[in-house]
């Protein structure tokens, strides 16, 4: 697991790096793919939390206090 579990639905939200989209997996195994704005792209799952999709797809940077992450 490399993502976030939604606090209410318990769906797993993961970033699909290869396709630049969000993969949402339900506990029953049903999967859907969504854009950063929560728009459905593909799959059997049709609804997602647009705010969580946006958070998952936001850019990730090194922390401002970490100068060289490889040295830690």
pLDDT tens-digit map of 25-49: 999 999 999 999 999 999 999 999 9
> Burial, 14: exposed, middle or buried (Cβ in 10 Å; 0-12, 13-18, 19+)?
middle
Percent of the chain residues past pLDDT 70, beyond the cut:
90
pTM: 0.80
pLDDT at residue 21 tops 80 = yes
Q: How far is CA 71 from the centre of its chain?
A: 28
């Amino acid at each position: 697991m490399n993502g976030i579990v939604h606090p209410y639905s318990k769906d797993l939200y993961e970033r699909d790096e290869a396709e630049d989209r969000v993969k949402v997996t339900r506990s029953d195994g049903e999967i859907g793919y969504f854009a950063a704005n929560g728009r459905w792209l593909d799959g059997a799952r049709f609804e997602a939390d647009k705010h969580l999709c946006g958070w998952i797809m936001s850019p990730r940077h090194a922390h401002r206090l970490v100068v060289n992450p490889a040295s830690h």
